[in-house]
């Protein structure tokens, strides 16, 4: 083990407790460290409790990442993983917070969370937190995040109903590559779709009154569900064909555009042009000055 | 009828005045259509130089042995003039011409920046001790602080009200459009939008056209003139401020292609002028404070502070504000003033910032330094590299050309407006039509656009779906269906790919014409934001096409949008130093200083090659006698003798009241300053110049009846103080309101005490540039021309100097006209 490793061990030793007094030169420190290495029980080793905590965190992390990835498409992050996310948060809390023997657990937190450059535990937990925040899952969970909020449940119900309706009406004419006629779907599912749409807009409006920037979005599950439905509805089924009344629009706008022409023409023809009355200044004019000006002019 | 009135009418009948004559002739000569095709002047004088103005004037030869005219002699002189006029005007002189840019209006007078150092003033100065001067200095600082606070508050008010009202309007229209998209009948939405717009604009235009026409436009030309020393009537009144603020709110809410930033400068200036005087004549309230500052010199300093505070509140650019004032009013400047103005600017932006932060609910955030906030430009993608600088310069060239086009079009339009659309009703109708057309154009553009973008949360304020799929919005609508400020910011900051090039191109084209059409309407509104918006749109387009051409995405379109905005604005208004700093501060990124400077410089050079800046153009079209920094080059051979007006109406040191009243009420010569000469015993003797007295002073004297006889009669009469003059400032009563009885007409007035005993004079041989320099640097109003015996020969005033201008073909002379 090179001097670097020794230094590392020394640092671990320092973390374990006490350590040699400061103020000695680097070399002296290194000597101390090599002396410590000679001892039987390595003070740098993790205590069993800590190891347990770490293992627990690892398991829940693995579970959460699995869940996140599995429910990536269509997005079901919040609905399926909120329990696992809570577990990870709890594990992390256990590591950070003092449990049982306070001094030991404190050491545990220190060695797990801040004793190296990488700090993998922190990185992972930050990643999960960030993902959770960006997905805005808090928005569709209850306040204590022990379950989905009522609005979300209602929305998802309605969403499922809508999808069922789509499926039901599509039976027989299976979504094929041929751009077939979906009028039946449009007619039959209109009510459900509209309901879903209004519910979504309402939820959006409610969340607008939220405090922070993030809560302006709805949670990703709801947004994605709505996106899927809308895309199906207006792109695939082509249901929302707005009445395009081009003729009246063109008529009205050309009428409006025509008005200024009339206005300017009439004011040009009928309005009396404003004339300026010249005023004669009192000046002394000699021929010399005229010559001057003319010279300059030419 | 008082005897004075009788005398006055007698006077009128006895002496036909020039104006009358001119009018009479004008009516008879109305059949002529083309004044330009008037009889040619005599061959020897065939100079197109004095275009359309000259021959009659030049053929008049004054044959008086002395140009000095004492009041009593004026009878003879005037008769002479009138006689001459009557004989030659009808067949030689085109005295009624259509408005053009080569005129100087008689409406505008100078401000009295030069302090009248008469005996009263000296006495007062003597009475004030050192401590009192320090109080005055402290008062100056207090006033500057108050200017800053009030300007900031006015800006907040405008911002909040505009946001609320515009929000309401867009919500109503959006709901309507959403409703009709499903059922059909979108033409009703269009009508609703157009009607809403034009009715709001109608109110805004009515208050401007009928209550205070000077509140029209951005107000920057007017303030520029004021700082230059031109008294624009009503420009710094409280009423103007009210109309301006309401007008701006209404025109922005009315959806015109305008911004609320320019008018802030005018508002700041009015606030400054109002506070520094400690009273309001509109409200008829006098708070009896700050009386020391009741004169033009002091007021001008505060007005420049107010203008700076306005810029600072508008753009969150305190330094830019100071530099703006410096750029516009720099001939009267000192360091202390700069520091005070900077103080006012800082206070202004801070007030706006803190009030708006509280309003938006994050009180300690301080993230709203200005009315327009360009947002932050400090992420990595926004950084520029050296290689991009030539590209920016190219953008500057484009901006200069587009700006020149804008100005040329607007020039043409403004000329038409001045000539044909001068009745207030017509102006209101025009504004309404523009508002309706703006709505219609916006609607049609949105209707025709097929550029749909997916909705992302609430990033878009009023997402219009229209024909887009559910969950998407119309991208054209973010540009048109929004207040211009918001559109600018979204053009700067929306991620690449938000706008499709076609949308941007159409938008630029349409908005260019709309903005050009809108500027000069009788609504109060600025041109800053529309210019920025046009520039941002084509700049973004430029950036997008660059990425297409090079096939990479190194060119973040937001950066190019910013440079385009700077180029376009620079090409239109041609401001240099202050605009660079304003843009730099608004983006809060100092490293952008260099490219912005280059862009503005290029835009100015290219633009100046074609036409001048928008503000200068409007000043010229308003026939304002504006003095530029320097006399026109090649004017050295002109001397004071040719420039001055002569003969001069002089007063004697002890003058008869009747004479003074007659001179003052003579409408043909609305003179403002009268040289005071020695009492001569007989006319042959030298009557040297002794001083200069102003019309306003004479009127105050007449009002208080300061006659020698009354003093001799030892009537109990208080001695006149400087305060009496200040109380009358700035609106001195007209001479008609002062009644002088027949007996009093025979009294004498001693002017010695009140005249300025040391007026500036120049000899007849002084060259025009020399006279100009003196006049401009000291902010003079009257400059007396004397001969070597100290006799008054002539008088140089602002209009005498401003009429020489360097045109395309050389030195031009503008003619005076009544407007």
Chain segment B172-229, per-residue pLDDT in tens:
998 888 888 777 778 888 999 999 999 999 999 999 999 999 999 888 999 999 988 8
Can you give the pLDDT at residue A116? 81
Residues A37 and A61 reside in one and the same domain = no
> Does A175 map to a domain?
yes
Residues A129 and A106 reside in one and the same domain = yes
Contacts of A293 in chain B (CB under 8 A): 47, 49, 638, 811, 813
Residues, chain A, total?
298
User: B421, A217: Cβ pair inside 8 Å?
Assistant: no
Q: Is residue B247 reached through a cis peptide bond, with omega within 30 degrees of 0 on the bond before it?
A: no
What confidence tens digit (pLDDT) does each residue in B334-368 have?
788 899 999 999 999 999 999 998 888 877 777 77
For A274, the closest of B419, B433, B813 (CB atoms) is B419
Give the dihedral of Cα atoms B506, B507, B509, B510; nearest 10 deg. Answer: 110
Give the distance from CA B122 to its chain's centroid: 34
The conformation of residue B37, written as its DSSP 8-state character, comes to: G
Residues A157 and A184 reside in one and the same domain = yes
Domain count, chain A: 3
In angstroms, the first-to-last Cα distance of chain A is: 97
Q: Measured on CA atoms in the order B229, B235, B236, B241, is the torsion positive or negative? A: negative
DSSP H or E run through A26 = helix A26-38
Q: What is the rounded CA–CA span in Å between residue B86 and residue B67?
A: 22
Residues A191 and A228 reside in one and the same domain = yes
Please tell me which residue of chain B has the smallest CA distance to A261.
B433
pLDDT above 60 for A171? yes
Is residue A280 packed enough to be buried (19+ CB in 10 Å), middle (13-18) or exposed (0-12)? buried
> Does A37 map to a domain?
yes
- Could you tell me what percentage of chain A is helix, strand and coil, using 3-state DSSP and rounding each to the nearest 5? 70, 5, 30
Tokens of B386: 């050296």
Between A159-163, A193-197, A236-240, the lowest mean confidence (pLDDT) is in A236-240
Q: Which residue from A42, A45, A17, A8 is spatially nearest to A106, judged by alpha carbons?
A: A17
pLDDT above 60 for A199? yes
Which residues fall within 8 angstroms of residue B595, CB to CB, at 6 or more apart? B384, B388, B389, B392, B563
Which residues fall within 8 angstroms of residue B760, CB to CB, at 6 or more apart? B114, B774, B778, B780, B783, B784
Can you give the pLDDT at residue B446? 87
Residues A231 and A162 reside in one and the same domain = yes
What confidence tens digit (pLDDT) does each residue in B522-575 have?
999 899 999 999 999 999 999 888 888 877 666 678 889 999 999 999 999 998
> Does A125 map to a domain?
yes
Can you give the pLDDT at residue B552? 66
Of A77, A112, A135, which residue is a domain's last? A135
Q: Which residue from A157, A164, A170 is spatially nearest to A199, judged by alpha carbons?
A: A157
Can you give the pLDDT at residue B439? 92
Give the distance from CA B304 to its chain's centroid: 13
> Does A157 map to a domain?
yes
List the single best residue of B187, B438, B669, B792 to mutate versus A (max A Cβ within 10 A). B187
Mean pLDDT for the stretch of residues A162-186: 68
Chain B: nearest CA to A154, how far in angstroms? 20
Can you give the pLDDT at residue B490? 86
Q: Which residues pair with B96 in a beta bridge?
A: A277
Residues A53 and A127 reside in one and the same domain = yes
Can you give the pLDDT at residue B331? 63
Residues A53 and A76 reside in one and the same domain = yes
Can you give the pLDDT at residue A10? 40
Tokens of B751: 């002017």
> Does A94 map to a domain?
yes
- In chain B, positions 139-168, which contact chain A (CB-CB < 8 Å)? none
Q: Judge contact between B183 and B412, C-beta under 8 A.
A: no
Query: What are the backbone angles phi and psi of residue B576, rounded to the nearest 5°?
Result: -115, -85
Residues A7 and A56 reside in one and the same domain = no
Q: Is A279 on the interface with B (CB under 8 A)?
A: yes
Of A110, A135, A160, which residue is a domain's last? A135
Q: What angle do CA A210, A211, A217 make, to 5 degrees?
A: 50
For B98, the closest of A253, A256, A275 (CB atoms) is A275
Q: What is the rounded CA–CA span in Å between residue B401 and residue B571?
A: 7
Residues A97 and A174 reside in one and the same domain = no
Residues A55 and A28 reside in one and the same domain = no
Q: Judge contact between B643 and B668, C-beta under 8 A.
A: no
Q: Judge contact between B253 and B169, C-beta under 8 A.
A: yes
The half-sphere exposure of B549 on its side-chain side, counting CA atoms within 13 A, is: 7
> Does A295 map to a domain?
no
- In chain B, positions 797-816, which contact chain A (CB-CB < 8 Å)? 799-800, 809-811, 813, 815-816
Of A236, A260, A292, which residue is a domain's last? A236
Q: Which residue from A149, A137, A163, A139 is spatially nearest to A231, judged by alpha carbons?
A: A163
ipTM score over 0.95, yes or no = no
Give the distance from CA A16 to its chain's centroid: 41
User: A296, B444: Cβ pair inside 8 Å?
Assistant: no
pTM of the model: 0.80
Q: Which residues pair with B649 in a beta bridge?
A: B69
Q: Please state, rounded to an integer, the average pLDDT across all residues of chain A.
A: 73
Q: Is B99 on the interface with A (CB under 8 A)?
A: yes
Please tell me which residue of chain B has the smallest CA distance to A253.
B440
Is residue B501 packed enough to be buried (19+ CB in 10 Å), middle (13-18) or exposed (0-12)? middle
DSSP H or E run through B815 = strand B815-818
Q: Mean pLDDT by 10-residue block, N- to C-terminus, for chain B (819 residues)? A: 39 38 35 36 36 36 38 36 37 69 86 84 82 87 94 94 92 87 82 93 95 90 90 89 94 91 92 87 77 84 93 93 84 81 94 90 77 78 82 94 96 92 92 94 87 71 76 81 86 82 90 94 92 94 87 75 94 91 89 92 94 92 88 86 85 87 81 84 68 89 81 62 78 82 85 88 91 87 90 89 83 82
Q: Which residues pair with B70 in a beta bridge?
A: B650
| pLDDT cut 90: percent of chain A above it | 8
Can you give the pLDDT at residue B458? 59
Given the structure tokens 């009128």, which residue do they identify?
Answer: B12
> Does A127 map to a domain?
yes
List the single best residue of B181, B470, B812 to mutate versus A (max A Cβ within 10 A). B470
Tokens of B463: 């997402």
Categorize the per-residue pLDDT at A65 as very low, low, confident or very high, splitting at 50, 70 and 90: very high
Q: Tell me how far CA of residue B511 lies from CA of A75, A107, B253, B529, B532, in angstroms.
A: 42, 67, 17, 11, 11
Which residues fall within 8 angstroms of residue B56, CB to CB, at 6 or more apart? A280, B88, B89, B92, B93
Q: What is the rounded CA–CA span in Å between residue B770 and residue B71?
A: 30
Mean pLDDT for the stretch of residues A84-102: 77
Query: What are the backbone angles phi and psi of residue B141, rounded to the nearest 5°?
Result: -65, -40
The conformation of residue B442, written as its DSSP 8-state character, comes to: H
Contacts of B805 in chain A (CB under 8 A): none
- Could you tell me what percentage of chain B is helix, strand and coil, using 3-state DSSP and rounding each to the nearest 5? 60, 10, 30
Q: What is the rounded CA–CA span in Å between residue B22 and residue B56?
A: 13
> Does A95 map to a domain?
yes
Domain of A191, in residue numbers: 150-236
pLDDT above 50 for A194? yes
Residues A154 and A114 reside in one and the same domain = no
Please tell me which residue of chain B has the smallest CA distance to A235.
B469
Say how many C-beta atoms besides its own lie within 10 A of residue A19's C-beta. Answer: 17
Q: Is A240 on the interface with B (CB under 8 A)?
A: yes
Q: Is beta strand B452-454 parallel, antiparallel or unpaired with respect to B472-474?
A: antiparallel
Which residues fall within 8 angstroms of residue B131, CB to CB, at 6 or more apart? none
């Amino acid at each position: 083990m090179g001097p670097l490793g020794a230094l590392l061990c020394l640092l671990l030793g320092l973390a374990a407790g006490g350590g040699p007094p400061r103020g000695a030169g680097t070399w002296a420190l290194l000597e101390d460290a090599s002396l410590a290495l000679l001892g039987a029980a390595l003070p740098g080793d993790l205590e069993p409790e800590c190891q347990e905590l770490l293992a627990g965190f690892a398991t829940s992390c693995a579970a959460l990442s699995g869940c996140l990835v599995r429910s990536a498409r269509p997005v079901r992050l919040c609905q399926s993983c909120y329990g696992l996310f809570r577990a990870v948060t709890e594990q992390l809390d256990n590591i950070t917070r003092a449990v049982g023997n306070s001094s030991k657990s404190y050491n545990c937190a220190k060695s797990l969370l801040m004793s190296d450059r990488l700090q993998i535990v922190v990185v992972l937990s930050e990643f999960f937190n960030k993902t959770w925040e960006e997905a805005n899952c808090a928005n569709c969970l209850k306040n204590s995040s022990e379950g989905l909020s009522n609005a979300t449940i209602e929305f998802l119900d309605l969403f499922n109903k809508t999808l069922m309706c789509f499926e039901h009406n599509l039976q027989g004419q299976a979504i094929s590559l041929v751009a077939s006629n979906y009028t039946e779907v449009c007619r039959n599912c209109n009510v459900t779709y509209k309901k879903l749409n209004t519910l979504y807009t309402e939820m959006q409006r409610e969340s607008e009154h939220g405090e922070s920037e993030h809560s302006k979005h709805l949670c990703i599950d709801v947004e994605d569900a709505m996106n899927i439905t809308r895309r199906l509805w207006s792109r695939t089924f082509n249901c929302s064909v707005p009445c395009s009344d081009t003729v009246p629009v063109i008529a009205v706008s050309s009428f409006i555009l025509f008005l200024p022409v009339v206005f300017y023409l009439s004011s040009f023809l009928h309005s009396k042009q404003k004339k300026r009355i010249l005023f004669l200044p009192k000046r002394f004019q000699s021929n010399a000055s005229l010559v001057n000006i003319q010279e300059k002019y030419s | 009828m008082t005897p004075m009135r009788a005398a006055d009418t007698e006077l009128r009948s006895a002496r036909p005045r020039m104006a009358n004559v001119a009018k009479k002739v004008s009516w008879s000569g109305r059949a002529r259509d083309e004044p330009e095709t008037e009889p040619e002047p005599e061959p020897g004088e065939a100079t197109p130089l004095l275009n359309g103005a000259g021959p009659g004037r030049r053929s008049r030869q004054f044959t008086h042995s002395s140009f000095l005219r004492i009041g009593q002699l004026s009878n003879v002189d005037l008769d002479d003039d009138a006689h001459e006029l009557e004989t030659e005007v009808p067949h030689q002189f085109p005295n009624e011409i259509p408005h053009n840019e080569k005129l100087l209006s008689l409406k505008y007078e100078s401000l009295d920046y030069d302090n009248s150092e008469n005996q009263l003033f000296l006495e007062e100065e003597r009475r004030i001790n050192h401590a009192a001067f320090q109080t005055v200095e402290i008062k100056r600082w207090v006033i500057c602080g108050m200017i800053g606070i009030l300007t900031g508050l006015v800006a907040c008010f405008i911002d909040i009200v505009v946001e609320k009202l515009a929000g309401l309007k867009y919500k109503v229209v959006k709901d309507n459009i959403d409703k009709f998209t499903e059922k059909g009948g979108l033409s009703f939405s269009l009508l609703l939008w157009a009607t809403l717009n034009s009715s709001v604009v109608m109110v805004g235009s009515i208050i401007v056209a009928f209550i205070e026409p000077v509140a029209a436009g951005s107000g920057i030309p007017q303030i520029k003139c004021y700082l230059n020393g031109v008294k624009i009537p009503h420009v710094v009144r409280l009423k103007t401020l009210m109309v301006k603020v309401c007008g701006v709110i209404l025109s922005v809410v009315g959806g015109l292609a305008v911004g609320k930033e320019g008018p802030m400068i005018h508002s700041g200036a009015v606030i400054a002028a109002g506070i520094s005087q400690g009273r309001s004549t509109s409200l008829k309230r006098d708070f009896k404070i700050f009386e020391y500052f009741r004169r033009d010199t002091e007021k001008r300093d505060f007005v420049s502070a107010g203008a700076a505070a306005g810029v600072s509140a508008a753009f969150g650019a305190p330094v830019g504000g100071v530099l703006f004032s410096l750029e516009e009013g720099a001939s009267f400047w000192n360091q202390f003033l700069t520091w005070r103005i900077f103080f006012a600017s800082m206070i202004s932006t801070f007030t706006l910032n803190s009030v708006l932060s509280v309003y938006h609910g994050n009180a300690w955030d301080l993230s709203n330094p200005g009315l327009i906030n360009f947002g932050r430009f400090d992420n990595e993608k926004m950084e520029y590299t050296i290689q991009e600088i030539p590209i920016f310069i190219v953008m500057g060239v484009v901006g200069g050309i587009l700006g020149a086009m804008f100005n040329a079009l607007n020039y043409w339009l403004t000329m038409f407006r001045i000539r044909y659309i001068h009745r207030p009703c017509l102006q209101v109708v025009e504004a309404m039509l523009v508002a309706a057309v703006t709505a219609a154009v916006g609607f049609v553009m949105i209707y025709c656009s097929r550029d749909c973008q997916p909705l992302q949360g609430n990033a878009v304020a009023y997402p219009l779906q229209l024909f887009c799929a559910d969950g998407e919005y119309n991208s054209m609508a973010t540009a048109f269906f929004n207040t211009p400020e918001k559109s600018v910011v979204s053009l700067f900051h929306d991620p690449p790919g938000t706008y499709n090039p076609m949308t941007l191109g159409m938008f630029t084209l349409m908005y260019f014409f709309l903005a050009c059409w809108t500027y000069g309407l009788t609504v109060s509104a600025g041109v800053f934001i529309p210019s920025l918006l046009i520039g941002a749109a084509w700049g973004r387009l430029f950036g997008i096409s660059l990425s297409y051409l090079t096939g990479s995405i190194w060119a973040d379109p937001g950066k190019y949008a910013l440079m385009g905005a700077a180029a376009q604005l620079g090409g239109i208004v041609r401001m240099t130093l202050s605009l660079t700093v304003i843009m730099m501060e608004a983006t809060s990124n100092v490293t952008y200083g260099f490219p912005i400077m280059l862009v503005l410089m290029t835009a100015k050079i290219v633009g100046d090659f074609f036409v001048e800046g928008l503000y200068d153009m409007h000043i010229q079209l308003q026939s304002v006698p504006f003095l530029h920094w320097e006399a026109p080059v090649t004017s050295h051979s002109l001397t004071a003798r040719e420039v001055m007006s002569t003969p001069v109406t002089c007063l004697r040191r002890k003058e008869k009241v009747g004479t003074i009243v007659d001179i003052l009420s003579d409408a043909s010569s609305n003179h403002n300053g009268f040289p005071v000469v020695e009492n001569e015993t007989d006319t042959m003797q030298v009557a040297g110049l002794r001083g200069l007295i102003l019309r306003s002073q004479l009127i105050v004297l007449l009002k208080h009846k300061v006659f020698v006889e009354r003093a001799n009669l030892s009537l109990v009469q208080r001695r006149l103080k400087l305060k009496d003059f200040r109380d009358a400032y700035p609106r001195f009563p007209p001479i008609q309101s002062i009644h002088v009885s027949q007996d009093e007409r025979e009294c004498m007035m001693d002017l010695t005490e009140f005249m300025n005993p040391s007026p500036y004079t120049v000899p007849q041989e002084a060259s025009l540039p020399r006279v100009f320099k003196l006049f401009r640097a000291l902010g003079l109003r009257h400059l007396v021309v004397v001969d070597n015996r100290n006799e008054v020969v002539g008088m140089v005033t602002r209009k005498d100097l401003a009429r020489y201008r360097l045109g395309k073909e050389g030195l031009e002379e503008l003619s005076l006209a009544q407007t």
